[in-house]
A = this chain, B = another copy of it.
Amino acid sequence: MCTIEEYFDNIFQDQEPKTLYEPILYTLKLPGKRLRPQLVHIAAEMFDGNSENAGLVASAYEMLHNFTLIHDDIMDKAEIRRGRPTVHKKWNTNVAILSGDALVVTALLQIHKLSCNPETILSVAKLFAQVSMETCKGQQYDLDFETVETVTIAQYLKMIQMKTATMFAGCLKSGGLVANADTESLQALFDLGIHLGIAFQLADDLLDVYADTEVFGKSIGSDIKDNKKTFVYLKALELSNETQAQRLQSLFSASNNMNEKTKFQEVKAIFDAVNVKQATEEKISYYIDKCFEDIDHIRVDEKKKNPVKSLIQQLKNRSK
Chain A residues in contact with chain B, CB under 8 A?
16-17, 19-20, 71, 74-75, 93-94, 97-98, 100-102, 104-106, 108-109, 112, 118-119, 121-122, 125-126, 129-130, 132-133, 136-137, 139-141, 143-144
Contact = CB atoms under 8 A, between A and B. Distances in A.
A104 B19 CA distance: 22
A105 B19 contact: no
A137 B17 contact: yes
B102 A137 contact: yes
A20 B106 contact: no
Contacts of A129: 105, 108-109, 112
Nearest to A127: B112
A98 B75 contact: yes
Contacts of A144: 17, 19
Contacts of A125: 112, 122, 125
A53 to B, nearest CB: 15
Contact of A101 (B106, B136, B143): B136
Nearest to A103: B136
A133 B144 CA distance: 30
A101 B71 contact: yes
A167 to B, nearest CB: 13
A94 B78 CA distance: 13
B140 A20 contact: yes
B136 A98 contact: yes
A122 B112 contact: yes
Contacts of A100: 101
A121 B112 CA distance: 12
A65 to B, nearest CB: 14
